[in-house]
Amino acid sequence: MKSCQPIGAASKAFTWNPQYGKHSQAYVASKYRYDDRDGRGPYRLDNMTSPNPRPNMMYEWKGHASPKYGWRYSRETMQKLDEEGRIWYPASKDKRPYLKRYLNEMSGRILDNIWVDISPINSQAAERLGYPTQKPEALLERIIQASSNRGDVVLDPFCGCGTTIAVAERLNRQWIGIDISPTAVNIMKARVQKLGGREHPTEVRVYGMPTGEAELRELRPFEFQNWVIQRVDGTHSPKKTGDMGIDGFSFLEHAPIQVKRSDRVGRNVVDNFETAVERHGAKSGYIVAFSFTRGAHEEVARAKAAKGLELELVTVKDLLLGTSELVAPVLNRSVVDLPLPPARPKGARPTAEQLVESDQRSTEVA
């Protein structure tokens, strides 16, 4: 899954943007000891003397003699700082004035390689998607900002529910996310579709997801069930209802869904599902499978006539074609499903021209 331009060239140069965190309370208390109570907050005093001889900066300032090597600032800058109230004056003319450095204008503490200020995602977090190994966006934000700039390409080859790509998108990076699990890729798809705010939204291309019945038949049962529930933008069953034969619930009306990764699903399955739907207190439900027997359709008709139950038998083909009302509404972000491009033959490398062209294309996007 990627955000648009292919990338072919990797550069030997690397990007490192220092990141800043909050100073500790102890540091603030010991360093920022002054406060004029004028709303500008605490400040510390910084030396205004030049470390090297600067003849043109040697002048007397408001009765304070020039330091040995001169001041750090020109007379004009000194005047401006003074007008802004940014110079601290001692009571005695024998002592030196200092520059006021306000805490709220400082970038903070440069972060080193142990970060303890970002908490893991808790059960109440708004960004929580339920993916077991989901990382907090704040963490990825720091990593991406530290190691890339606008328009750069960010790659996460084990992307899970797509925290990296969601943050990369928000920070105006291009991105490529890879995951072996179609369930993870579907979560990423939904996540980027709901993202807004990017200045120039680009088309999202998803490569290699199952797009036909044959590929869906190959999925493991758990992945197949997830594919169906995600395709209809439904919710997964909690364990309790799962035990009753309900695998998920539809979007909006929240009707029970049972998923069967088989063909010729028959009367028995419908009969058992009726019981599950009734026990759940619902009036309608869906069974999804590759195909159904005539007996299954007859049982659906009987349940409607006898009990007023609205059961719908939905084939995988219906879901693929979007012909069932179960299929989720289309969201506004453009997302295109594409087959995997054929693998490059072993040993074949792109030409220098192709690499340059690819790199130029990648830097055009911001």
Ligand X SMILES: C[S@@+](CC[C@H](N)C(=O)[O-])C[C@H]1O[C@@H](n2cnc3c(N)ncnc32)[C@H](O)[C@@H]1O
Is residue 202 close enough to count as binding ligand X by CB under 6 A? Answer: no
Can you name the residues that pair with 207 across neighbouring β-strands? 338
User: Which range touches ligand X (CB under 6 A), out of 33-41, 56-64, 105-113, 131-139?
Assistant: 131-139
Is residue 184 close enough to count as binding ligand X by CB under 6 A? Answer: yes
Query: With contact defined as beta carbons under 8 Å apart, do 23 and 72 qualify?
Result: no
**Residue from 3, 5, 19, 134 binding ligand X (CB under 6 A):** 134
Is residue 179 close enough to count as binding ligand X by CB under 6 A? Answer: yes
Is residue 180 close enough to count as binding ligand X by CB under 6 A? Answer: yes
User: Which strand ranges, in their side-by-side order, compose the sheet holding 284-289?
Assistant: 235-236, 248-249, 256-259, 284-289, 310-315
Applying CB under 6 A, the site for ligand X has a residue count of: 14
Is residue 192 close enough to count as binding ligand X by CB under 6 A? Answer: no
Nearest approach, Cβ of residue 210 and ligand X (Å) = 15
Is residue 154 close enough to count as binding ligand X by CB under 6 A? Answer: no
**Residue from 50, 145, 172, 181 binding ligand X (CB under 6 A):** 181
For ligand X, the closer of residues 48 and 184 by Cβ is 184
For ligand X, the closer of residues 103 and 155 by Cβ is 155
Is residue 226 close enough to count as binding ligand X by CB under 6 A? Answer: no
Q: What's the CA angle centered on 46, arms 43 and 47, to 5 degrees?
A: 160
Is residue 72 close enough to count as binding ligand X by CB under 6 A? Answer: no
User: Which range touches ligand X (CB under 6 A), out of 15-23, 180-188, 276-284, 321-329?
Assistant: 180-188
Residue 86 — φ and ψ, nearest 5°? -100, 10
**Residue from 15, 17, 133, 211 binding ligand X (CB under 6 A):** 133
Query: With contact defined as beta carbons under 8 Å apart, do 136 and 161 qualify?
Result: no
In the numeric block, which tokens belong to residue 17? Answer: 């943007």
User: Which strand ranges, in their side-by-side order, compose the sheet holding 43-46?
Assistant: 43-46, 98-102, 87-88
User: What is the per-residue binding string for ligand X in 87-126, x denoting contact by CB under 6 A?
Assistant: ----------------------------------------
Say which residue the tokens 């800043």 belong to. Answer: 20
What is the number of the residue whose Cβ is closest to ligand X?
Answer: 160
User: Which range touches ligand X (CB under 6 A), out of 21-29, 132-140, 261-269, 345-353?
Assistant: 132-140
Widest pairwise Cα distance in the chain? 104
Is residue 135 close enough to count as binding ligand X by CB under 6 A? Answer: yes
**Residue from 158, 220, 331, 339 binding ligand X (CB under 6 A):** 158
User: Which range touches ligand X (CB under 6 A), out of 27-35, 133-141, 247-255, 341-349?
Assistant: 133-141
Is residue 161 close enough to count as binding ligand X by CB under 6 A? Answer: yes
User: Which range touches ligand X (CB under 6 A), out of 110-118, 174-182, 279-287, 313-321?
Assistant: 174-182
Q: Which residue type is seen at 193? A: Q
Nearest approach, Cβ of residue 167 and ligand X (Å) = 10
Nearest approach, Cβ of residue 191 and ligand X (Å) = 10
**CA-to-CA distance for 259 and 241, rounded, in angstroms?**
13
In the numeric block, which tokens belong to residue 327? Answer: 């299929």
Half-sphere exposure of 12 (CA within 13 A, CB side): 0
**Residue from 67, 70, 97, 160 binding ligand X (CB under 6 A):** 160
For ligand X, the closer of residues 180 and 366 by Cβ is 180
CB under 8 A, 24+ apart: contacts of 12-20:
14/147, 15/147, 15/148, 15/149, 15/152, 16/146, 16/147, 17/145, 17/146, 17/147, 17/149, 18/110, 18/111, 18/146, 19/110, 19/111, 19/142, 19/145, 19/146, 20/107, 20/108, 20/109, 20/110, 20/111
Nearest approach, Cβ of residue 162 and ligand X (Å) = 6
CB under 8 A, 24+ apart: contacts of 280-284:
280/241, 280/244, 280/246, 280/256, 282/255, 282/256, 283/308, 283/309, 283/310, 284/253, 284/255, 284/309, 284/310, 284/311, 284/312
Site residues, ligand X (CB under 6 A):
131, 133-135, 157-158, 160-161, 163, 178-181, 184
